[in-house]
């Protein structure tokens, strides 16, 4: 089985760019990743591309070949859709392709363009990741769904909105030096608590923004990296995917995310590590409660213990296991189809010491990227390690 190396990363700024197209955004990120890797577009054997709602936002389907053309790649290209986990799934399939020996050089990425739809249009577009018959038609939105999950968590384990506010404050602070982040401004706990309620107990600062952007990584086989003298010291050593029922009302738990737990267990077993080995994590914090559920599903905390982690300083840049040093979806931004690969890029840069927060955390050897779709009906987890 061939070892999968990350040879290069690329990312656009995340924010509001309604005048830019999806192909324009992906061209910037993809070409940056290829340049970072020192790989020619002609060497790419397949493009694995994540996108959720191109048909709605740009009246554009069949996006794989379009994105390959945008970066000058003349090779097969496949689009993957799993709501907010779209590019996480693209990474997983690309990892399999390299491991089996089918491919030596792959460009993996994603993009989403949403701000051109307006707030109402983007909210409606995002809602199709829920169950149309039993959730969307009843008026369910994702802020409402995650509010239900937060209420269930408080009821089962205790805690309150102040605990969640510390998650938002932490992630905004982490994003300050991130030149690609949508929000590079510090906030306070009082600001979070005093902000307008979106869906009680979640307020404006508990929620990620609507974001445009793209991300990309170049994945290569160990043999290709060695033959071509590439600087590719980080490997994807573990990959896992989990699933759950789409609609909340059909699930056994509201305050736990079994899809993420299954993905983490598979990824850890694949890499031959345990949660105790993880030194840094990028997790899917579309809402503050989502980060809490993620770090518990990853085994970094027992159920009910994750809520106070940010308040106690354990997941900050000075903590034992820093979480979302990029700023997370909360402050870095959440261009849905690009998020999973952006997380992988952030972990790679942390492990190579090229991340804006690297001076704060020093040398790291093991990190995880956790990407979730909808109310975590889909989830991927990838383990990255320094191997050279």
Phi then psi dihedrals of residue 221, to 5 deg: -75, 155
- Quote the tokens at residue 252: 């056994």
Residue among 284, 334, 355, 382 flagged as catalytic: 334
The whole-angstrom distance between residue 265's C-alpha and the CA centroid of its chain comes to: 18
Of 20, 15, 354, nearest to 184 by C-alpha is 15
Respond yes or no: is residue 84 known to be catalytic: yes
Transcribe 58-125 into DSSP letters: HS---HHHHHHHHTT--S-EEEE-BTBTHHHHHHHHHHHHHHTTS-SEEEEEEEE--GGGHHHHHHHH
What span, in angstroms and rounded, lies between the C-alpha atoms of 122 and 71?
Answer: 27
Task: Reply yes or no on whether 318 is catalytic.
Answer: no
- Residue 173 phi/psi, 5-degree rounding, is -65, -40
Residue 241 and residue 222: Cα distance in Å, rounded? 23
Catalytic residue of the set 46, 84, 174, 208: 84
The residues near 173 (Cβ < 8 Å, ≥ 6 apart) are: 186, 316, 317
Reference 147, options 56, 268, 139, 66; nearest CA is 139
Q: DSSP state, 141?
A: -
Pairwise CA distance, residues 125 & 275, whole Å: 35
The residues, ordered by sequence, that sit 6+ positions from 187 with a Cβ below 8 Å of its Cβ are: 168, 169, 172, 205
Give dist(CA 283, CA 291) in Å, integer.
6
- CB neighbours of 138 closer than 8 A, spacing ≥ 6? none
Active site residues per annotation = 84, 334
């Amino acid at each position: 089985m061939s070892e999968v190396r990350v040879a290069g990363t690329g990312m656009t700024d995340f924010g509001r760019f309604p005048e830019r197209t999806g192909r324009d955004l992906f061209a910037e990120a993809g070409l940056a990743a290829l340049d970072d890797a020192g790989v020619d577009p002609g060497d790419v054997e397949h493009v694995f591309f994540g996108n959720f709602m191109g048909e709605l936002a740009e009246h554009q389907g069949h996006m794989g070949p379009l994105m390959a053309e945008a970066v000058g790649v003349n090779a097969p290209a496949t689009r993957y859709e799993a709501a907010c986990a779209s590019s996480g799934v693209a990474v997983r399939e690309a990892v399999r392709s390299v491991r089996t020996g089918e491919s030596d050089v792959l460009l993996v990425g994603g993009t989403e363009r949403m701000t051109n739809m307006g707030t109402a249009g983007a909210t409606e577009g995002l809602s199709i990741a829920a169950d149309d018959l039993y959730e969307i038609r009843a008026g369910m939105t994702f802020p409402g769904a995650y509010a239900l999950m937060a209420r269930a968590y408080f009821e089962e384990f205790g805690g309150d909105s102040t605990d969640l506010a510390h998650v938002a404050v932490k992630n905004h602070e982490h994003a300050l030096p991130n030149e690609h982040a949508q929000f590079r401004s510090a906030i306070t706990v009082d600001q979070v608590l005093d902000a307008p309620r979106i869906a009680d107990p979640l307020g404006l600062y508990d929620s990620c923004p609507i974001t445009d952007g793209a991300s990309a990584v170049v994945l290569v086989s160990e043999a290709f990296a060695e033959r071509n003298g590439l600087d590719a010291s980080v490997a994807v050593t573990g990959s896992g995917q989990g699933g759950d029922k789409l609609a909340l009302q059909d699930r056994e738990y509201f305050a736990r995310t079994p899809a993420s737990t299954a993905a983490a267990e598979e990824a850890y077993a694949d890499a031959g590590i345990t949660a105790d080995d993880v030194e840094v994590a990028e997790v899917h914090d579309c809402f503050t409660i989502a980060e809490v559920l993620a770090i518990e599903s990853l085994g970094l905390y027992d159920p009910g213990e994750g809520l106070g982690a940010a308040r106690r300083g354990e997941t900050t840049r000075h903590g034992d296991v820093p979480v979302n040093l990029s700023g997370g979806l909360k402050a870095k931004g959440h261009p849905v189809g690009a998020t999973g690969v952006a997380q992988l890029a952030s972990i790679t840069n942390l492990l190579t010491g090229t991340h804006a927060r690297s001076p704060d955390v020093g040398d790291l050897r093991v990190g995880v990227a956790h990407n979730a779709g909808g109310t975590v009906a889909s989830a991927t987890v990838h383990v990255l390690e320094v191997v050279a």
